[in-house]
Structure 1
Amino acid sequence: MQKQFLFVVFFFCLSSHFSFAIGDDSTYHRYNPLWTNYFHPRFPDYIHSIDTSIDKFHEYDMLQQHFGWMNLGNNGTPAFQTIYHSMNNSELQWGLEQSVSPYLKSPENIRFYKTLKPYSHLYYVMGSKSEQQLVGTHTQNIGRNANVGFEFIRQGVPGFYQRQRADVFDLDVFADVRSKNQRYEISPYVIMNKLNWQLNGGITNADVFIDTTLIDKTLADIYLSNTRAEFRRNNYGFYQSFNWGNHYITKLSDTSYQQQFNSSVRLFHQMDYSQSLYTYLDDSTDFHFYYPHEYYFNPDSTSDSTYYSLLRNEISIEWNEVKHKDSAETTERKFPFNIFVIHDLHQLPFAQKKYINELNAGFECHSWLRPFYFYVSASAGKSEISDLNYRAEAYVTWYGSLSPWQFFLNVRTDNHPPSWFQNSYYSNHFNWNFNFKNEGQTFAELGFYNSKNSAYGGIKYVVNENHIYFSANAQPAQHNGTLNGWVIYLKKNFRFGKIHVDNEIGINLVDENVFQLPVYAGKHLLYYENSLFKHALDFSSGIEVNYVSDYYAPSFNPATLTFYQQNLTLVHYYPVADFFVNMKIKSARIFLRIENLDQGLFEPGYFTVPSYPAADRSFKFGVSWMFWN
């Protein structure tokens, strides 16, 4: 811990030196967030500025940035959702990655940059029990029409108990190259995800929080004392597009101009090849944990592995808004739309055929009929091993001409095949081979958004047909019939001078026996925020409270990384309060955080799921530094 503290002190002193020593004029030329933006090639017109604020800067962990998720009590461990979510796609899926998806980089969530000067960002976090996290970004232009860079996340969390260590390493390398006339663009990328865990089967002592003889939590007895698992997923691919439209000139400075391109018709193509691998090792013979099937192949040890690969090609033609010849302003097309075709080539484990073909096609269309905005989409497809899948969505929004209010109605229905993992799996402890029917999901959602008051919310009526879930025997099962329910969500931020109250809640009114979700999940922040010393220091400090209502939380199966149904243990929670301080001094941002501050006030501790205790009170410290060279 002393070495880590000295490293952080050196890091902060170095950042302070470069931020202040050169002087105001030179500092400006080394720190200007307006120099750098990021985008995604799928939506090139949506340009985002990098975040330099201290708003929720203390939420450093990847799972904390996704509301409605909970882990096994240790950062970086497999996680489950506490808010009902509808499926986002109707294609055939592998399915084994569901509990680790928040930790994975993918082609859809990586960033591509545009920057006037080389941009770098480092973000270091350290905490109790030698927890460490390092996030880094570097990107720079090569000439006016090319950009290259990389981003990475490295996280190591030993945990409070035996066999609880989690290691996360994600890396993406990207580039964006445009032709001189801006008509052609290609954006290649390489993504590597590697997640490692020392897993246990939970602790054996349900009174671990009140056992006075247990001086050190690492001495607590556990199930499965010699298990480990690894999940890998690599992506190799590119986006490319060719545009038809008009050119215009943008002034960059008094002596510099750049030719820009207004695209009215766009031919878009993505090719992506992904490889996924999951391995599970257990050198012990504590196989009664896997009751009723202690083992299938080897009674002495377990060495399971399963793989999946996908080659995807997507082609679309987009008719965008017609744009003026000499500016970036748009003249609206009545019905901008695009049509697309997706071909997937799956390589699935345990399949009779080595490669499975799947073809999907669809369209999207939107239009402004003020004050209404309309959006319609539909797609359908089929693979060689599944029935027809389809998806249709209709969306309408009302915008007030001078009002910050927006109201929307969204209706969606889809029919998708079971994932391959739900249908087939073979390992030393769990074997199944099902032939489930397609699942159906339909919902109607009514909601609102207020840009002035930072508020949005809605109510969703959901209908699930033939829902697939993991039953009490830790294997998939299908509910034959229809399950109806309601989901309510709301986010509202209040401000009283320098005092802020931020709230985000979700209410699940669904069948608890099948979905096993809490009725209530909420996240609430009360904090003071101000700029001090003539805006030289941005400062915020307060309390963040997370709470879910008591419910029969699912049990965890380490062999398959799944959460399954249980109705024996009612898991009790209390409002978990974290104290935080966020600060910003020019290009340096710092946070201090005490997690589970109120441990012992309501209860001596709590379990996130049966047999998996949440982390004790702990301290976290983080520093971030952005610079342009």
Structure 2
Amino acid sequence: MKSVFYILFFLLFTTWSQAQVLKSIDGGGKGKDDKTSQDDELFDRKTTRSVKDDREKPNISKYKIISISNDTTYVDTTLSIRKDYKFNYLRKDAFELLPFSNVGRPYTELGYAFDDLQALPRFGARAKHFNYLEVEDIHYYEVPTPLTELYFKTVFEQGQTLDALFATNLKPNLNLSIAYKGLRSLGNYQRELTSTGNLRLGLNYRTLNNRYFVRAHFAAQDIFNEENGGLTDRSYQQFLDEIQEIQNRAAAEVRLDNAETELDAKRFYVNQFYNIRPGNDSTQNGQIRLKHVLDFTDKEYRFIQGSSTPEFFGTPFENADLQDEVEYQNVSNTLLLSYKQNHLGRIGFKASHSNINYLYNSIVVLEDKRIPNLIQRDVISLGGTYSKTYKGFKLEGDASYNITGGFGGYAVHGKASKSLSDSLQFSARIDLSSAAPNLNWILNQSDYENYNWYNPDYENVITQHLEAEARSEVYGSLTASLTQIDNHAYFEYLSAPEGSLADSLVSPQQTDLQIRYLKLKAVKDFKYGHFNLANTVLYQNVLEGESVFPVPEFVTRNSLFYDNYLFNKALYLQTGLTFSYFSSFRSKAYDPVLSEFALQNTQELEGFYTLDFFLNAKVREARIFFKLENFTTLLEGNTNFAAPRQPYRDFAIRFGMVWNFFL
């Protein structure tokens, strides 16, 4: 049924959009309002004409991509080394992430960012959220003709990953989009099948008089993983010793043979505003705007296991058919009233209400404690926003404070940016927050006795983040940040109680150590003729609290490649090598019951390098990618790990493409 629905949706959109394009070409549909000239600009044409007919093609800059923060770009069909870095399952640069052996599994974080701090606790199972699309990850479209983008890339054994997007306009001021990203990959090791799907439906609408604007989306996401728990002690040693029998990775023994996890999520989001007073001149001075944001998010996380394994997770309540399931709902409404005055800027006052429900099916009663099944809060917060451009500086601010509801906290974001010249930009930001730890630190239930806890008295995690960035076309970019964290919450493997079959068990912790985290990141490209060297270097230092906040000191990625146009510029070619390296550190270990990473003291993650050969090409609007991943392991073997007990990927030949169609 889903397939039929998608096909009907596609055909219906195509029919409507074709009618809209023909209507615009014929000059029909124009109103008498002079403001419609802004809409008509969407159909400005180049002088070039199509081979199939005499209709002129719209300029590619008319195919606009709009973020929820109203940053607008257009469809980019160029090929660069940065596009190669983003050609992966996440569709973004994964420089600070170390992937597990199969696509769609978790990543070990090599660095941390703090630009998304908020005043409310988050849902748990964070290892399941690398591919989860947040509100900020959804884009909206304004296109003159139907736009299609297809992404395809091979995976590891029996599967593929595909991301397809279709956007169209029913009217110049009414644009719709539908997109679906799907993955299936069996993997090279036992019990590491991944199967995920991300469906997005988007709406972008504005009235012809530009008084009312709305952007909305619906997202349905499911992330399924078989869990193997990593290598057993025997296969771990065989992997290090490169024993011949384990070179067939499917023969390697793994700790779990009947466990799986799944995250199901749905979100309905509406961001709309109405210009009560549109302004009294061309700069909209004196504008009064009322904005409303609705975010309804529903998530369910499940850990399912056919039979218990007390040697890994401790004493179970059930020996067979184990199932941990938690449901989360957050219905949030925000109202924002803003006033724009040219000398003062835009000042906004906002009020928010969030209804949070975090629910298990039953109450757990143990000998020494009682674990409830519900966290329910109605949180009301007040705050404000500010934006202004003053003497070339763009100033932005946003603040909110929880005044009632049981989750005290605040979040403050401020940013200042300036273009010092056409080739030099500077920005600085501050992010502050006080928020309760994630909900699975506070409350968790499981069919394993050790994974049941209730910590209502945990202190708020207080985070202070300062960051500055300079970008230059000549000298590259440099980003420096300093982060301080108080009451840091984390999971940790602790020694198991006497008599337990497991050596260590996961426990939620909160430290009174103050964490101070310094991060420096430099990006610089060099070009000589047709030869290029692209460099990204990261230096990190945990000045205080390193024992609970482990990161590698150095991470680097360097690409040396040749590029040129061939066949009378019909084809653009890139080919070369990418070198990646990170230094040793005591990384966190992955826990499949929680889908979280936890501190451990048994295995140092040895730093290692990888070397990839790539050949990329661009033909018209198609970008083709071919890569020999980690090819040095053919000669040196592979004894590297992505996390404790989780082997890193072997050599693989992978290829794929990104192709845009403009109808």
> How does the TM-score come out when normalised to structure 2?
0.82
Distance, in Å, in 2 between the alignment partners of 1:275 and 1:392 is 26
Whether the 8 Å CA contact 1:92–1:420 is kept in 2: the answer is no
Partner in structure 2 of residue 186 of structure 1: 214
Distance, in Å, in 1 between the alignment partners of 2:592 and 2:249 is 20
User: How much does 1:24 deviate?
Assistant: 5.0
Whether the 8 Å CA contact 1:279–1:303 is kept in 2: the answer is yes
Partner in structure 2 of residue 359 of structure 1: 380
Residue 597 of structure 2, aligned match among 563, 570, 594: 563
What letter corresponds to residue 487 of structure 2 in structure 1? N
Distance, in Å, in 2 between the alignment partners of 1:29 and 1:279 is 53
Residue 122 of structure 2, aligned match among 94, 98, 109: 94
Distance 1:418-1:382 versus aligned 2 partners, 3 A rule: farther
User: How much does 1:447 deviate?
Assistant: 3.4
Distance, in Å, in 2 between the alignment partners of 1:522 and 1:368 is 36
Q: How does 1:523-602 map to 2 (within 5 A)?
A: 523-601=557-635
User: How much does 1:433 deviate?
Assistant: 1.2
Q: How does 1:230-379 map to 2 (within 5 A)?
A: 230-243=262-275, 244-245=277-278, 264-290=287-313, 293-295=314-316, 297-320=317-340, 332-350=342-360, 355-370=376-391, 372-379=393-400
Distance 1:499-1:294 versus aligned 2 partners, 3 A rule: farther
User: In terms of mean alpha carbon deviation, does 180-189 or 576-585 score higher?
Assistant: 180-189
Partner in structure 2 of residue 426 of structure 1: 445
Distance, in Å, in 2 between the alignment partners of 1:141 and 1:261 is 27
Distance 1:352-1:610 versus aligned 2 partners, 3 A rule: closer
> How does the TM-score come out when normalised to structure 1?
0.86
Whether the 8 Å CA contact 2:110–2:552 is kept in 1: the answer is yes
2:244 counterpart SS class? coil
User: In terms of mean alpha carbon deviation, does 542-551 or 374-383 score higher?
Assistant: 374-383
Distance, in Å, in 2 between the alignment partners of 1:609 and 1:123 is 29
User: How much does 1:277 deviate?
Assistant: 0.5
Distance, in Å, in 1 between the alignment partners of 2:397 and 2:154 is 47
Residue 392, structure 1, aligned to residue 412, structure 2: yes
Gaps of 5+ in 1: 1-21, 250-259, 323-331
CA displacement 1:7-31 (0-9 Å, x = unmatched): xxxxxxxxxxxxxxx9757599578
User: How much does 1:353 deviate?
Assistant: 6.0
How many residues align? The count is 580
CA RMSD, Structure 1 to Structure 2 (Å): 2.7
Distance, in Å, in 2 between the alignment partners of 1:476 and 1:214 is 35
Whether the 8 Å CA contact 2:125–2:594 is kept in 1: the answer is no
User: How much does 1:395 deviate?
Assistant: 3.9
Residue 502, structure 1, aligned to residue 525, structure 2: no
Residue 517 of structure 2, aligned match among 462, 485, 495: 485
User: How much does 1:590 deviate?
Assistant: 1.1
Distance, in Å, in 1 between the alignment partners of 2:656 and 2:58 is 20
User: How much does 1:275 deviate?
Assistant: 0.8
Residue 62 of structure 1, aligned match among 82, 90, 94: 90
User: How much does 1:393 deviate?
Assistant: 4.2
CA displacement 1:125-148 (0-9 Å, x = unmatched): 224423411110111111222111
Distance, in Å, in 2 between the alignment partners of 1:263 and 1:582 is 51
1:516 counterpart SS class? coil
CA displacement 1:587-617 (0-9 Å, x = unmatched): 2221111111121555523110111111211
User: How much does 1:179 deviate?
Assistant: 2.2
Gaps of 5+ in 2: 1-48, 361-371, 495-505
The alignment-based identity, stated in percent, is 20
Distance, in Å, in 1 between the alignment partners of 2:92 and 2:168 is 29
Distance, in Å, in 2 between the alignment partners of 1:382 and 1:417 is 14
Distance 1:108-1:392 versus aligned 2 partners, 3 A rule: closer
User: How much does 1:419 deviate?
Assistant: 1.7
Distance, in Å, in 2 between the alignment partners of 1:286 and 1:367 is 59
Distance 1:449-1:337 versus aligned 2 partners, 3 A rule: farther
2:245 counterpart SS class? coil
> Greater relative contact order: 1 or 2 (C-alpha under 8 angstroms, separation 6 or more)?
1
Distance 1:248-1:601 versus aligned 2 partners, 3 A rule: farther
Distance, in Å, in 2 between the alignment partners of 1:624 and 1:411 is 36
